[in-house]
A and B are shown apart, each in its own frame.
Chain A
């Protein structure tokens, strides 16, 4: 019964947070570049406008199903990550899932993406997907290593239990084991497709890559799923490293702080080439990851 209210509410919260954060991001970037920037609602306007456009293009059923698979991936990811602790609300289906499941669900998006782009056959799209999959080789190893270390540290795979184990600032994973946070942070930025790891959708190199064939409504769906999945990842990192949140305001503030951190990193570093990015991931985050394994397991 509670799920009936929980599910729409969680989706709504994620969506709202998504367009607010990314609207803020555009203003933030504008200020850095010494201009005014669009209003904070701009992403909402863009998104709703795309839903009101026509979509006349078709490359067969997979082209249509791909975005649906991605959307389904985003929605399920949102629903399997508990948003709050110490309450029965906004838990979604997290009781029947765990961190390992969430790790799997996060890969559904790229899969749907590759299927849709493959169906369209656009060379720029294929180029974008190839870049994405190459980058995935680099980022997944340290990212999942970091998440695995968290599971080892707390000896549980339940996100709620991990949140519950960090009641105060001193017990946050960020404080008790900052090395894991460093290991996860950069792959996390890459998995959000933000600069400096944004080779996949680079607008002037591969003409927005995987999105190149999408116009009207399907592009609207892709934007929505991108915003929601990113927010789900932020909520996950907040839960794992910053002790989760016990009310929506706290969640919002913590996500915002994390968002500002990643946005500032994105704002100052230029785009890396694909092989540079993979190189980087295999060297720094993975190297740190190995050190973190030794520290977490034997010390």
Chain B
């Protein structure tokens, strides 16, 4: 007879979520842990309303789902934000603006991408003017799948990100810094002559203060 012993499929999300951080945790000093804990408790969100997902951000932030109880609150400008939420398909024109916003955010910064459009193109798979995998152009920390993910799913995504930050995840911004050439090459490929000037990313190359 079939007897279930462990988790299966997506039930294992919880175990797999922090699996790669197992070693990181032990290396942290007390101060690191405290800082990481404070960071996960206070996430200022820059919601970049591309695609259909902008609709889901409103109920998330207001009375019904009240993300503020997790310390998640909207930021007025990219400079004050910790998390960039890309809510859906990215047109090539929008990509340029998103990259610019992302590069202006102060480190540590994280990116959450919503919806299947950001993962593999979704229903815009064969569109001529959207990018398929956002991960090629910006370092995404967390994808929330669905078309469109509901606010509950978004909250779950945020909580998962908080857990990872508390466990010592460094965040995609380090990946972006280290592989800047790769990201820039990808961006140049889709943006072409329309490539954004590097005045917001120059400090990454000269090894600006982390």
CB distance from B38 to the nearest CB of A (A): 5
Among the listed B69, B80, B82, which residue makes an inter-chain contact with A36, where contact means beta carbons less than 8 Å apart?
B69
- Nearest opposing residue in chain A for B72, CB measure: A38
CA distance A12 to B56 in the complex (A): 41
User: When A35-B69, A208-B80 are in contact, do A46 and B42 touch as well, CB less than 8 Å?
Assistant: yes
CA distance A213 to B77 in the complex (A): 8
User: When A48-B38, A52-B38, A53-B108 are in contact, do A36 and B66 touch as well, CB less than 8 Å?
Assistant: yes
The reply to whether the CB of B197 lies closer than 8 angstroms to some CB of chain A is no
CA distance A213 to B39 in the complex (A): 21
CA distance A26 to B208 in the complex (A): 35
Residues of A within 8 A of B74 (CB): 203
Residues of A within 8 A of B82 (CB): 49, 53
* Stretch in A54-62, A227-235, A257-265 with 4+ CB within 8 Å of B: A54-62
Docked-complex contact B79 and A57, CB < 8 angstroms: yes
Residues of A within 8 A of B39 (CB): 49, 52
Main secondary structure of the interface of A (DSSP, over half): loop
Docked-complex contact A42 and B106, CB < 8 angstroms: no
- Nearest opposing residue in chain A for B31, CB measure: A52
CA distance A56 to B201 in the complex (A): 11
The reply to whether the CB of A34 lies closer than 8 angstroms to some CB of chain B is yes
Docked-complex contact B80 and A215, CB < 8 angstroms: yes
The reply to whether the CB of B95 lies closer than 8 angstroms to some CB of chain A is no
Docked-complex contact A219 and B69, CB < 8 angstroms: no
Residues of B within 8 A of A37 (CB): 66, 68-69
Residues of A within 8 A of B13 (CB): none
CB distance from B48 to the nearest CB of A (A): 14
B76-115 contacts to A, CB under 8 A, are: 76-77, 79-80, 82, 104-108
Docked-complex contact A215 and B63, CB < 8 angstroms: no
The reply to whether the CB of A214 lies closer than 8 angstroms to some CB of chain B is yes
Docked-complex contact B210 and A35, CB < 8 angstroms: no
CA distance A36 to B107 in the complex (A): 29
User: When A36-B66, A38-B69, A49-B42 are in contact, do A54 and B209 touch as well, CB less than 8 Å?
Assistant: yes
Docked-complex contact A34 and B35, CB < 8 angstroms: no
Docked-complex contact A56 and B203, CB < 8 angstroms: yes
Residues of B within 8 A of A42 (CB): 41-42, 71
Residues of B within 8 A of A219 (CB): 79-80
Docked-complex contact A216 and B76, CB < 8 angstroms: no
- Nearest opposing residue in chain B for A29, CB measure: B68
Residues of A within 8 A of B69 (CB): 30, 35-39
The reply to whether the CB of A207 lies closer than 8 angstroms to some CB of chain B is yes
The reply to whether the CB of A254 lies closer than 8 angstroms to some CB of chain B is no
B179-210 contacts to A, CB under 8 A, are: 203, 208-210
Residues of A within 8 A of B73 (CB): 38
The reply to whether the CB of A211 lies closer than 8 angstroms to some CB of chain B is yes
Residues of A within 8 A of B63 (CB): 33-35
- Nearest opposing residue in chain B for A205, CB measure: B76
User: When A26-B68, A38-B68, A216-B106 are in contact, do A49 and B79 touch as well, CB less than 8 Å?
Assistant: no
Q: Which residues of A are at the interface with B, using a C-beta cutoff of 8 A?
A: 26, 30, 33-39, 42, 45-46, 48-49, 52-57, 203-204, 207-208, 211-216, 219
